[in-house]
Amino acid sequence: MVMPMTDSVRAWRVLFEDLCRLIRSGRLVPGDRLPSETALIAQTGLSRTTVRQAIGQLRSVGLVSTLAPKGTFVLGTPDPVRLMAGESVTAEAALTLTRADGSTALLPAGTPIVCAATR
Amino acid sequence: MVMPMTDSVRAWRVLFEDLCRLIRSGRLVPGDRLPSETALIAQTGLSRTTVRQAIGQLRSVGLVSTLAPKGTFVLGTPDPVRLMAGESVTAEAALTLTRADGSTALLPAGTPIVCAATR
DNA sequence: CTCTATTTGTACGTATGTATC
DNA sequence: AGATACATACGTACAAATAGA
């Protein structure tokens, strides 16, 4: 079914979230290949541009990685990363800080997180 | 001058890096608006799709933010937060890790970041 | 080994919607 | 009300790398 471009629900976002669910639900596990662009076009009726935008979002969120002409593959959730002195992390989205006592705080997008000086 | 699509140097990447330089050099400061898509099209001779891809990269790198029909604006960086031992941060979106040498790595959404500082 | 099909990357063009100025 | 500017979405074409017959 074709999504009219006037639709307030963005087509690429729908596909993006569908694929997100496939991954988070475990129907697609790390190492699995996503359906090819052509397949997704056939399944969704969307244009290639739109399909690619959805996949691009998955990439930019870190859920998948695409290898040039091979395909797009589901990434595994990596082990926790230890932040060393001199390193910093940021994210486009809000960050959640969890303290030792379990309480949490929300940090604005773009906030650089640096490692507290050792000792 | 028009960049042939066969060129191995990706046109959007050239524009992306040009704009990066404008920002990092300080010629564009936080709050400044980037030239509009139309202006960039005129200046570069690229298609709108390509111009938008370059701007999309700037966004995903966290250098700019675009407000719907107003324009794309240069972001400033908020004050860093020091991650203490026992604390961790996560984000729904991809995290960018910047090392001491300036190199960066993309961490998948949901990656827990912990403080390496012990003792 | 060569030819071919598949798949992703890049790049172009066009049209419409919608919010802002 | 009109112009401007970004978002979404369609289409097309060719390049390049890979995999398979």
Q: Which tens digits make up the pLDDT trace of B21-44?
A: 998 888 999 999 999 999 999 999
Per-position DSSP letters for B51-75, written without gaps between them = HHHHHHHHHHTTSEEEETTTEEEEP
Q: How far apart are CA A115 and CA A85, in angstroms?
A: 5
Q: Is the CB of A33 under 7 A from strand D?
A: no
Supply the mean pLDDT for chain B: 85
Phi first, then psi, for residue B82 (nearest 5°) are -90, 125
Phi first, then psi, for residue A66 (nearest 5°) are -110, 130
pLDDT tens profile B74-91: 988 778 999 999 999 998
Among A62, A77, A112, select the one facing B80 at the smallest CB separation: A112
Per-position DSSP letters for A85-102, written without gaps between them = TT-EEEESSPEEEE-TTS
pLDDT tens profile A28-82: 999 999 999 999 999 999 999 999 999 999 998 889 999 989 999 999 877 899 9
Among A78, A98, A116, select the one facing B82 at the smallest CB separation: A116
Q: Give the whole-number percent of chain A exceeding pLDDT 90.
A: 61
Give me the residue spans of the domains in chain A: 8-74, 81-115
Q: Give the whole-number percent of chain B exceeding pLDDT 90.
A: 50
A8-74 carries CATH number 3.30.1330.30: no
pLDDT of B63 over the 80 cut: yes
Q: Is the CB of B31 under 7 A from strand C?
A: no
Both structure tokens of A4: 């009219």
Supply the mean pLDDT for chain A: 87
Considering Cα of A17, then A22, then A28, then A33, what sign does the dihedral take?
Answer: negative
pLDDT at B119: 53
Q: Is the CB of A34 under 7 A from strand C?
A: yes
Both structure tokens of B113: 């970041």
Considering Cα of A104, then A105, then A110, then A113, what sign does the dihedral take?
Answer: negative
CA neighbours closer than 13 Å in the CB half-sphere of residue B7: 12
